[in-house]
Amino acid sequence: MRNPWAQTGNYRTSYVQDTTIFATYREIVSVGVLLVALVLLPQFLERSQVLTLNFILIYAIAVLGLNITTGYAGLISVGQAAFMGVGAYTVALTAPYLPFYLTIPLGAAVAAVFGAVVGIPSLRVKHLYLALATLAFQEIFVWSVGRMPALAQGASIPVEMRNFLGYEIGFRNHNHFWYYVILFVLVLMVIAWRNLLRGKYGRALVAVRDNDRAADAMGMDPGRTKLMAFALGALYAGVAGGLLAYFQRSVVIEEFTLAKSVGFLAMAIVGGLGTVVGSLLGPAFIEYLRLSMERLSEWIKGNQAIQQLIPPGVDVASALLPLSFGLVIVLFLMFEPRGLYNWWRLVRSYFRTWPFKY
């Protein structure tokens, strides 16, 4: 008799079973608990802590998109921040005329179009070349924005939203309001992600990644599948960019540089490629790493005794961030290539079979 609460392994025997999301009731309950916790969390936090959370959740959306392009389709994208920028600038230009529930989807759509255009080489060549196409787009995007008077040449463009359905959004409740909006969008995007990738399309992506010739022979169109992956990844980035624009109340080019794109890749890898859990853990890990490094360098700058020890001309404060960031990427790839997701999986499987060992 199958126990709906506990499971000792994967006993899926049919396609229908394999496309189910939750294997046991326990998983449904744990997702529910997580959601309730996320909804209640900001009530116990300061405004500045909610600010960090908001960034993490927005980055999680962008990383989810990257997990379609890089995690599922195996196409390296170093342009995710630029796609995010496309979404953000679309929002900045349309926000004075349209409500946010229209501008954000619009930004996502424009970003998806850009993603498809950048992905055009995928019709002919394989993954390595595509990484360079995204790199080129990233550089061209930052350069062009910096020279467009309509986009303030990369300087700050204000994005204002003072009230929503009569609910006043002021200085005090800004972070909390947007936390719930971002959380809502994130949940929607996760559901879409999961449904998209457990079905026919997700399987086609995996098939094309693992062996595109075999996939071709079995009737999938590798070029179109990859192009779709690019467009979808960019669409997620566009949503994240739109949310970022509203939440930051402005759009600045510094948010959409190559360094940020590399940061998203790092988040995806540290979290664990191609997983929802990883898309949440990765951004959280990298953001908190960044914050603690910033605090550490502030502390070094303020501490006279340590300043004495450092020889002149040595910039420890600005060295800390790239050093720690690079080390985290390299160490994870060498010792835990499956990322934080793997740790979480180990913990989960312990509890799933508890009180038995297996």
- Kindly list the residues in this chain that would bind another protein in the complex (CB under 8 A): 70, 74, 76, 78, 118, 120-121, 124-129, 131-133, 135-137, 139-140, 143-144, 146-147, 149, 153, 213-214, 217, 262, 265-266, 269, 273, 312-316, 318-330, 333-334, 337
To another protein, the closest distance from the beta carbon of 128 in angstroms equals: 6
- Considering beta carbons, is residue 70 or 175 the nearer one to another protein? 70
- CA separation for the pair 300, 306 (Å, rounded): 6
To another protein, the closest distance from the beta carbon of 322 in angstroms equals: 4
Contact 90, 245 (CB under 8 A): no
- Considering beta carbons, is residue 3 or 153 the nearer one to another protein? 153
- CA separation for the pair 119, 131 (Å, rounded): 10
Contact 6, 26 (CB under 8 A): yes
- Considering beta carbons, is residue 19 or 257 the nearer one to another protein? 257
| DSSP code at position 124 | T
- CA separation for the pair 145, 142 (Å, rounded): 5
To another protein, the closest distance from the beta carbon of 116 in angstroms equals: 13
- Considering beta carbons, is residue 33 or 310 the nearer one to another protein? 310
Contact 295, 334 (CB under 8 A): no
To another protein, the closest distance from the beta carbon of 62 in angstroms equals: 17
Contact 260, 78 (CB under 8 A): no
- Considering beta carbons, is residue 159 or 253 the nearer one to another protein? 253
- Considering beta carbons, is residue 67 or 175 the nearer one to another protein? 67
To another protein, the closest distance from the beta carbon of 325 in angstroms equals: 5
Beta bridge partners of 251: 157
Contact 244, 58 (CB under 8 A): yes
To another protein, the closest distance from the beta carbon of 91 in angstroms equals: 24
Q: Tokens 């200085």: give the residue.
A: 171
Residue 21 in tokens = 């999301």
To another protein, the closest distance from the beta carbon of 253 in angstroms equals: 13
To another protein, the closest distance from the beta carbon of 337 in angstroms equals: 6
- Considering beta carbons, is residue 227 or 245 the nearer one to another protein? 227
* Strand, coil or helix: 7: coil
What stretches of 24-123 show up as alpha helix (H) in DSSP?
25-40, 47-66, 80-94, 100-118
Q: For residue 250, what is the enclosing H or E element?
A: strand 250-251
Residue type, 274: G
- Considering beta carbons, is residue 62 or 186 the nearer one to another protein? 62
67 Cα distance to chain centroid: 8
Contact 115, 59 (CB under 8 A): no
Which of 306, 259, 316 minimizes the C-alpha distance to 286?
259
- Considering beta carbons, is residue 153 or 292 the nearer one to another protein? 153
Residue 228 in tokens = 């779709």
To another protein, the closest distance from the beta carbon of 108 in angstroms equals: 22
